Structure 1
Amino acid sequence: MSDWAEHTHADGKKYYHNRRTKQSVWDKPEELRLFEQQQHYQQQQQHAAQASATSSSSSTVLPPHWKEYLHAETGRKYYHNTITNETSWELPSTNAAPSSSSSAPSSAAAAPAATKETSSSSSSSSVSTSSPTLTSSQSQLQSQSTSSQTQSTSSPTSLSTSNNNSNNNNESSKPSGDPIKMFKDMLQQADVASNWSFEKAHKLVANDERYHLLKTMSERKQAFQEYLGDRKVFEYEEKRRKEKRCRDELVRMLRESPEVSPSMTWLRAQLYFDGDSKWEAVDSEREREDLFRTYVMDIQKREKDDRDNLRRDTMRNLRAKLETNDLINLKTLWSKFKEHYENDPLYQQMDKYDVLCVFESYIRDLEKKEEDTQRKERERLRREARKHRDLFRDFMLEQYMAGELQPTTHWQQFYKRFGTHPTFENLASQTTGSSPLELFMDFREEMTIRFERDFDRLRDMIKDLNFQFIPKQTTLEELKQALSKHERFSILSQSSIPPFLEYLEDREKRRAKDVEKRKKDAIGNFKVLLQETRSIGKHSTWSEVRPTLTSRPEFEELEDESERERIFKEFIEFLSNEESDEEGIIKSDDESKSRREFSKLAKRSSLSAENIDDQRSKKKRRE
């Protein structure tokens, strides 16, 4: 493949560029022209091979001594008789007799078979597609064939006999092998160049016996043209090899020359190498310059690579020295580092920027190692804290399932009971993660949510079962046994039943307190009622006073009749003692104490009398 390629400029004009030497020219280079001729010759060879294949496939229908050829310029088929040298554009008939007065072109045996000649063989005769012109040698051959044809008309038997004998003698004297190949070998041994004409070559090899292996002039010219194509390819390849060899020799000379350095200019190189055979062997000045500059760039690149490698080695050695020095740590300052290494030979030969880069890189690596160590330690502590948290949650769950921990349990109770447990102490000693108090509050909140859900179910189940809770008598087992009869018992959490039993006990206690409080309020209100009733005297009896009090709400609040009567008697006694004080009679200490107590209760009841209506409304709401 050629290094030259055709391109089109912006103004539409074509130019040619060499990919290897980066040279651009307007005129088509000779190297590209030879390459195109080689390509054209190869295409012609392919067409000739196709034509020969077609001729061999149709040779059975051709008359004797007739052969089929393909015109090199027009690509049109023509037919030639090797005996009479008759040429025809039309396919000859099998019964047609050879005639010299044929209407077909007379010299088409030589001219159409020949390929297109180069400018160097301009002395060769040109070929016309309609009426080819005969050369002088062909004219002699045609006159000889005409006379022989006349003789054959008079005595055809003797002609055929003589022809057969001459053919047999010629075949026995022919050298063995391909005639065309031997003809080309003859031209090659004669060193026939690609720009020779057929006439020039003919003068040189006409006396060689291999020249007469090809009988007709057209066959010789066709073989000669094939040889020229092969010779052009050979010369082109040889020229390329020679140019490459010259370029390699020039580069080798530059490599071996001690004067060539990266600072050497092109002008100085021209003056220094002028007259050198290796320098002059490369014809193109531009190509010599490109080779020189490329070699100088390679030297510069190698020197730069050497400097970079040396710089990296010194930096690597300084880094190794820092790693073995225990005085250089994460907290070492740049000023301290310079003071420590200012007399070191390696430090002195290095560039200060490179030293700084090594120092900063080493400190960053130490920081990364320290961060990795701290991160691993934090991760270890987190894993350990997570493990203790999980153990503490499992511990609280075990206590909850065992009934030792309830949703109503307070932190003070839990800490007082389990504060010395190893699980609690291990979690409390951790510096990361949640504390025992936070986990306890989260756990109690979860248990409260679960208990509230079960609490509603338990309350509905007790209502459905008509279960009667008796304080201080109903046990946990009795409650479970009663609840097990309900169909929703299976979905309950067993840990929710003990807190529910505590809830029932607390509810009964609250009810008892409420009843006691209401009774005290009713007693106080009843005493206030007795004081406000003016018709009651110290000689009044309960049977007389009761009908007057039955319509009052204070009377109805105190439902116990015996309690009403007892309070009435105390009130009568209070009135008697009060009247005695007015008369100046001194009573005993017990009587004085009972009077003070009744007066105090009456006074407190009078203060709460204002809220009687509110208490009644609360009672109605509770009912």
Structure 2
Amino acid sequence: MSGSVGLTKGDWTEYFTDDRKKYYHNKKTNSTTWDKPLEFKSTEELAATPCVWKEFTHDSGRKYYYNSSTKTSVWEEPTEYKLIRDAQEIMRQKNGEPEIDDKPAPMSEKQKNAIFHQLLESKLVTSTWTWDMAMRAIINDERYGILPSLSEKKASFTEYVTNRKNHEREEQRKKTERQKEALFDMLRNCEHARPGASWRKVLSFIEFDPRLNPFTPQELPGLYDDFLYIWEREQKEQAAQARKENMQKLLSTFQADKTITWESVWRQVKAEYETNAAYQALDKNDRLTVFQDYMRDLERDEENRKRAEQTNNRVRSRKNREAFRRLLLECYQDGRLGLHTKWKDFQESIKSDERYLHMVEPTQTGSLPSELFGDFLDELEETFMKERKKIKEIVQELPVEFSVKMSEADFLAAISRHQLYQSLNPRFHSAFYLDFMDHLAEEEKRRVKAIESKKKHAEERFLDLLYDAHVKPATKWEEIRETISEKSAFQAIPTEEDRLRLFNDFVTVRHTEYEGGDREKRHKKEKKHKSHKRHRDDDRDRRRDDRKRRASHDRRSSSPPAEMEEGESRIE
């Protein structure tokens, strides 16, 4: 790395790259870094820099310094510690902060033991040394006095020796493992070291190899058996890996072959792949396994495709139904569709509309166009029936005489004077008129029928009166009139002309029928009619009572109503 030279502080020199980026070189350690060294940091930067060195005081009163990162201790004050401490002191004075008691904390027993272990290690004390040997080597070192009593020194030495033995034992184990691995590598490269070959025979080919030297002649046969076990296991693993790779290659070949589909059969595919290298590298069971697995994947993909297609078709069908409902609404709004419209007529008017054509596609699912048409009319009729109640209320409250001869314009003009007229749907005006005219016609039919029935009943009573008065064919009207004129059946016939007509009819025709028993038949028929009418009245009363009970139950099951104010009433 080259560039212009900047300042030099201590062992560090500042340099600049071509793009004016700073880096630093230490001439003592010959190291280069992008990070700013302590010598180049400002007082504020030094004060904010964390320090890994801590100051402690030995039992003898002498200060020493402990590095929490490297776990080492020194007697001399480190430069890093001095720079950071001085910068922090300057910043405290500058900010007017009170002086901090920088008295070093007492050293813990663990730290003392660590320093004593460093002393033993620096004097190359091994696990075979005795305490006397170690003491003669360390007694003149200043760190010897870090532990005050002899018993603590011996205990720390024992701990050090134990740790050293464990470390040496672990190192020996690793060394033995490396030697065994070197021996096994040599046996792998020896073509004679294979299952079935004895160790004596194999030894004749490798007896001068230096990798045998770390082991005794007694250990080598056992190590050879271990190698054979490992070699067979490795061969099995390699064969399994090769089989897996060949199966993957054959699967990749199947996947690249577009002629293989989920409907393909193994007999046909096998004949086409007999010369394939990946096919030949596998036995017949593995080939069939790969094909079956691939077929399951294709079948699953086909099922997913069909399922996705069905989902898309359902979504498309739903959108087509929604579009057709909008078509029905548009036709209703522009007058092409009404309450009395027939499906065949409406179908003829929309057969070229694409929204209808989508509904008759073979892939369309769900409701048919005619069913949606029927549902729309049902909703329309339901809305009409709600509006129809308003018409009934209007007609009842208006002082207007409505008749079947009234025109639509007169009808609408008459009901427009009511305040509810503005809330009516204008699209139902014609339907309201036709419906109300039908209602009036039915009322007129019922009225005429009732009059005819009453007249017929009165005539029957009058004929019974003539029969009871023993009228014969030779009887004169003037004679019998005086005897029956006070009877109610006589007075029920309003005109004298009708009485005379009935009398003449009786003496000429009806008398014979009455004598023949027709009167009894007629009475039985009237009695049966009255019985049926009574039953119908009873059924109507029973249904009315049921409705009252249900309404009362609904009111009890709901929340209790607030108390009514004076003058209010509740309609049952």
The bucket for the TM-score relative to the shorter chain is: 0.5 to 0.7
Conserved 8 A contact 1:455-1:500: yes
1:414 corresponds to 2:414:
no
Counterpart of 1:436, as a letter, is: P
User: C-alpha offsets along residues 443-465 of structure 1, whole Å, 9 cap, x if unaligned?
Assistant: 34434444444444543443344
Question: How far is the alpha carbon of 1:373 from its aligned partner?
Answer: 3.5
Conserved 8 A contact 1:396-1:405: yes
Conserved 8 A contact 2:199-2:224: no
1:55 corresponds to 2:63:
no
Q: How does 1:121-520 map to 2 (within 5 A)?
A: 194-195=128-129, 198=132, 237=167, 240-241=170-171, 243-257=173-187, 258-259=189-190, 264=195, 268=199, 272=203, 278-279=211-212, 281=214, 293=226, 299-300=231-232, 302-325=234-257, 327-342=259-274, 346-400=278-332, 409=340, 413-422=342-351, 423-424=355-356, 426-430=358-362, 431-466=364-399, 468-473=401-406, 475=408, 478-479=411-412, 482=415, 485-486=418-419, 498-520=430-452
> 1: CA distance between counterparts of 2:216 and 2:483?
154
Normalised to the residue count of structure 2, the TM-score between the two structures is 0.52
> 2: CA distance between counterparts of 1:612 and 1:390?
59
Counterpart of 1:472, as a letter, is: K
Q: Paired residue for 2:19?
A: none
Question: How far is the alpha carbon of 1:365 from its aligned partner?
Answer: 2.8
Question: How far is the alpha carbon of 1:604 from its aligned partner?
Answer: 11
Are the structure 2 counterparts of residues 567 and 260 from structure 1 closer, same or farther at C-alpha, using a change threshold of 3 Å?
A: farther
Q: CA RMSD in A?
A: 5.9
> 2: CA distance between counterparts of 1:611 and 1:416?
48
Give the secondary structure class of the aligned counterpart of 2:286. helix
Give the secondary structure class of the aligned counterpart of 1:281. coil
Are the structure 2 counterparts of residues 270 and 424 from structure 1 closer, same or farther at C-alpha, using a change threshold of 3 Å?
A: same
Are the structure 2 counterparts of residues 51 and 249 from structure 1 closer, same or farther at C-alpha, using a change threshold of 3 Å?
A: same
> 2: CA distance between counterparts of 1:183 and 1:611?
137
Conserved 8 A contact 1:194-1:228: no
Conserved 8 A contact 1:193-1:228: no
Give the secondary structure class of the aligned counterpart of 1:433. coil
Conserved 8 A contact 1:184-1:227: no
Give the secondary structure class of the aligned counterpart of 2:402. coil
Instruction: Give aligned pairs, total.
Output: 407
> 1: CA distance between counterparts of 2:140 and 2:263?
101
Conserved 8 A contact 1:330-1:366: yes
Are the structure 2 counterparts of residues 392 and 542 from structure 1 closer, same or farther at C-alpha, using a change threshold of 3 Å?
A: farther
Are the structure 2 counterparts of residues 566 and 551 from structure 1 closer, same or farther at C-alpha, using a change threshold of 3 Å?
A: closer
User: C-alpha offsets along residues 48-91 of structure 1, whole Å, 9 cap, x if unaligned?
Assistant: xx997223179xxxxxxxxxxxxxxxxxxxxxxxxxxxxxxxxx
User: C-alpha offsets along residues 456-508 of structure 1, whole Å, 9 cap, x if unaligned?
Assistant: 4543443344554322315368448736733x667665556654433322221
Give the secondary structure class of the aligned counterpart of 1:389. helix
Conserved 8 A contact 1:469-1:504: no
Give the secondary structure class of the aligned counterpart of 2:58. helix
Question: How far is the alpha carbon of 1:394 from its aligned partner?
Answer: 2.8
Counterpart of 2:179, as a letter, is: E
Gaps of 5+ in 1: 1-49, 59-180, 579-594
Conserved 8 A contact 2:462-2:490: no
Are the structure 2 counterparts of residues 529 and 250 from structure 1 closer, same or farther at C-alpha, using a change threshold of 3 Å?
A: closer
Question: How far is the alpha carbon of 1:297 from its aligned partner?
Answer: 6.3
Normalised to the residue count of structure 1, the TM-score between the two structures is 0.49
> 1: CA distance between counterparts of 2:519 and 2:369?
50
User: C-alpha offsets along residues 530-554 of structure 1, whole Å, 9 cap, x if unaligned?
Assistant: 6552648799679985994674559
> 1: CA distance between counterparts of 2:287 and 2:62?
85
Gaps of 5+ in 2: 1-54, 64-117, 541-572
Are the structure 2 counterparts of residues 299 and 280 from structure 1 closer, same or farther at C-alpha, using a change threshold of 3 Å?
A: same
